[in-house]
Chain A
Amino acid sequence: MRRSRSRVKQVWQVCLIFLLIALVLFPSSFETPLRLLSSLTVEVVQVPLNIAAFFNQKAMDVWSDVQGLIDLRTDNQKLREEVLRLNLEQNLLKEFEVAVDRYQKLFDFKQRCPYSTIVSEVIGRNPTNWYQSLVITKGEQDGIIPGLGVITPSGVVGRVFKVYRTFSIVQLILDRDSVVTGLVQRTRDEGIIQGSDNGEVIMKYLPPLSLLKTGDVVITSGLDDRFPKGMIVGTVKQIQNKEAGPFKSATLRPYADFSKLEEVIVLLDIVPSNEKSKTCFVLDAAVSETSERFSR
């Protein structure tokens, strides 16, 4: 049995060898059957080939998607970073714009102002709750001395209280120990502007027959040796008629926003240095407010 099988094998081997020799020696005679065979084979092989190609395509698509996802994640990360960077840049630009606006106002004010002034940054506030003061970046080396008036284009801020070489402490008009002489612009009544314990600005010692009313503009009277006449302080918020006392007093709403002070102007000298108008301090807002009231 085994022998017959080996014989069959040998016969097959011999046939195959003869076939190979014939193929090598007479290739043209095999061309037609080979073509037929190849077309048949292609038909058969095409099915799994197509299936394989289909799956391959799908796999490629999936891989491409995965690759895309990976790229997408990287792109997303890059875009997020870009958005953050742009946001930061935008914020910086906004801040820059606000700063430019502020500096422009200060510059305009300084241009119009006939007095010798110096602009200083506010870097801090009082370290206790007992006083109302600011820390500014100009000191002795910039020509600052105690008592000098401190203002903003919006109005009076206070006066220099302590001076060190590179910085100074400014006592705000909100401080209970601060005193500035004031004048009600409409009625021309004079009084003393002081701070109070609860952070309000009060105009004291007004004449008992004063006709001032809520909304009147209060300016500096010029009797003070550090503030020239006509600088805006605030408007009358409330009038106190102390029946027992000989004087009237009024609570003021200061023009300067003390919680948002970033730069201030120190008046180095209140003697006008040129022919510019002395009324440069009167704020546009205050002017329009007053003229509006008069027109009414």
Chain B
Amino acid sequence: MKFFVYTVIVLFVIPFQVTIIHSFPIGGRVPDVILVIVFLTGLWRGQIEATALGLVLGFLQDIFSGTMGWVNLMTKPLIGLSVGIFCQARISLTPWVISILLMITSFIYGLIVLLFLLASPSQIDFWSAVRGVIFPQTLYDVVFGMIIVFFAFKLFPSPSHKVWNL
């Protein structure tokens, strides 16, 4: 059953990221749905499942992306692993905490990709990339992530999720 659910997620998320999400750009930028999904999987299902999902989704994201490198294949499982391990600590996962965690995760992910690009022959300017890509994407990721969290807990309310206060 779990395998089936993850297969459905993968089959849904990749076309969504490649096609549908481009209909809702803000300032020409779109959220990284895959990052948000891997982050939330790490939060809710632990590091093992999030890492595995990050591997698959990162790999597929790199296949469809206009780069020769495998930066998403490397970073997305790392995100799943880090978030999963971090959330083992007993912290109260309020919406604020989740949004701040997601913001930090997205920002660090952006910086890693930028460093990767700076190391490659790509002609990229650090500050314009931070201003033009990393900041807007971080904010958009947080908004998108919180929308998913909101609907997830509206759809699947559970006593264990009282701390969310949604």
Contacts and interface: CB of A to CB of B under 8 A. Distances in A.
B101 to A, nearest CB: 21
Interface of B: 14-15, 17-19, 22, 28-30, 32, 34, 61, 63-68, 72, 113, 117, 121-125, 128-129, 132-133, 136-137
Interface string A112-140: 00000000000111111111110100000
A124 B19 contact: yes
Contacts of B18: 123-125, 127, 135
A199 B27 CA distance: 11
A135 B113 CA distance: 21
A193 to B, nearest CB: 13
B66 A126 contact: yes
Interface string A157-197: 00001101000011110011100000000000000001001
A197 B128 contact: yes
A240 B124 CA distance: 19
A273 interface: no
Contacts of B15: 124
A129 B29 contact: yes
Nearest to A132: B66
SS of B interface (majority): helix
Contacts of A131: 65-67
Nearest to B134: A129
Given A127-B64, A129-B29, A132-B66, A197 B19 contact: no
A129 B137 contact: yes
Contacts of B67: 130-131
A124 B64 contact: yes
A191 to B, nearest CB: 16
Contacts of A162: 66, 68
Given A177-B122, A198-B128, A133 B66 contact: yes
Nearest to A146: B68
A129 B64 contact: no
A169 B65 contact: yes
A199 B28 contact: yes
Nearest to A134: B66
A138 B22 CA distance: 21
A172 B19 CA distance: 16
Contacts of A199: 28
A125 B22 contact: yes
A228 to B, nearest CB: 24
A194 B14 CA distance: 29
B129 A197 contact: yes
17 contacts: A123-B18, A124-B22, A126-B66, A127-B18, A127-B34, A127-B64, A128-B61, A129-B30, A129-B136, A162-B68, A164-B63, A170-B66, A172-B66, A176-B124, A197-B128, A197-B129, A199-B28
